[in-house]
């Protein structure tokens, strides 16, 4: 019996592929509908995966109803591309020609970005909270002083109390809206405290 030998060569670097039980390949279909198989050796495959190493990812915007995140990615080799990330049928997807490793890395980058945004939003909201407020109602014109956690301080802000017992802050004092909306709650506590 005589054997024929199939010489497996990498179609990228031309090196012989030896001693592997699995071989990476890609294929194209030519105009006669022939499948043209292209083999790729381990080192060319690794190089290709590496070419998708992310240096920087900047989220540009999101499309919540599609669960899509748009971004600009800069690769380690300096390439820049705009792309999107989505999970389709539980599978992470980005560029059609990107390796799975890239989809996973994109996912991790986006998760980190979401955490960062969430904590920034939380901290910004915290800074807006009133940390101390004093109502001085034992003078002709009642006034209040407040300070927020972000150290925004205003003293001697005039206010008056309506017949129903609600507080009305002097609009000329230009107290920011995010402070104004917290004042009634503090006023109620103050009233209960002295009742």
Closer of 27 and 122 to Zn ion (Cβ): 27
Verify binding: residue 118, Zn ion, rule CB under 5 A: no
State which of positions 125-164 bind Zn ion (CB under 5 A).
none
CB-CB neighbours of 157 under 10 Å: 19
Task: Considering only residues 25 through 64, tell me which ones interact with Zn ion, judged by CB under 5 A.
Answer: 41, 44
Kindly determine how many residues on this chain lie close enough to bind Zn ion according to the rule CB under 5 A.
5
Task: Sort strands 35-40 and 24-29 into parallel, antiparallel or unpaired.
Answer: antiparallel
Q: Is 17 in the site for Zn ion (CB under 5 A)?
A: no
How near is the Cβ of 28 to Zn ion at its closest, in Å?
17
Residue 12 touches Zn ion, criterion: CB under 5 A:
yes
Would residue 89 be called left, alpha or beta, if left means φ above 0 and alpha means ψ between -120 and 50 degrees? left
Nearer to Zn ion, 99 or 142 (CB): 99
Cα→Cα distances 182→28, 150, 167, Å: 64, 15, 11
Residue 65 C-beta: closest distance to Zn ion, Å: 43
Beta-carbon contacts of residue 57 (< 8 Å; ≥ 6 apart): 71, 72, 73, 74, 106, 109, 110, 113
Task: Give the sheet arrangement for strand 130-136, strand by strand.
Answer: 130-136, 143-148, 153-161, 167-169
As measured in angstroms, the least distance from the Cβ of 6 to Zn ion is: 17
Terminal CA-CA length for the chain:
107
What's the closest the beta carbon of residue 27 comes to Zn ion, in angstroms? 16
- Site for Zn ion contains 13 (CB under 5 A): yes
Cβ proximity to Zn ion: between 43 and 60 the closer is 43
Quick one: which segment of 2-10, 22-30, 54-62, 66-74 binds Zn ion (CB under 5 A)?
2-10
Rounded to a whole number of angstroms, the minimum distance from the CB of residue 40 to Zn ion is 6
* Nearest in space to 67 (alpha carbons), one of 83, 82, 88: 88
User: Nearer to Zn ion by C-beta: 45 or 95?
Assistant: 45
Which range binds Zn ion by CB under 5 A, 3-11, 21-29, 68-76, 98-106? 3-11
The rounded distance, in Å, linking the Cα atoms of 168 and 164 is 11
> Which residues sit at the interface with Zn ion, rule CB under 5 A?
10, 12-13, 41, 44
């Amino acid at each position: 019996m005589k054997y024929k030998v199939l010489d497996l060569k990498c179609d990228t670097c031309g090196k012989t592929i030896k001693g592997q039980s699995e071989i990476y390949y890609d294929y194209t279909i030519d105009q006669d509908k022939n499948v043209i198989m292209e083999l790729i050796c381990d080192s060319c495959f690794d190089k290709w995966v590496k070419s998708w190493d992310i240096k920087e990812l900047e989220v540009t915007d999101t499309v919540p109803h599609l669960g899509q995140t748009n971004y600009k990615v800069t690769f380690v080799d300096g390439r820049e591309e705009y792309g999107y990330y989505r999970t389709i049928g539980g599978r992470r997807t980005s560029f059609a020609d990107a390796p799975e490793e890239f989809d996973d890395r994109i996912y991790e980058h986006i998760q980190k970005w979401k955490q960062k945004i969430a904590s920034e939003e939380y901290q910004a909201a915290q800074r807006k909270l009133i940390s101390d407020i004093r109502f001085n109602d034992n003078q002709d014109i009642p006034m209040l002083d407040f300070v927020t956690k972000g150290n925004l301080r205003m003293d001697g802000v005039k206010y008056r109390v309506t017949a129903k017992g609600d507080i009305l802050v002097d609009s000329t004092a230009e107290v920011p809206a995010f402070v104004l909306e917290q004042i009634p709650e503090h006023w109620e506590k103050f009233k209960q405290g002295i009742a």
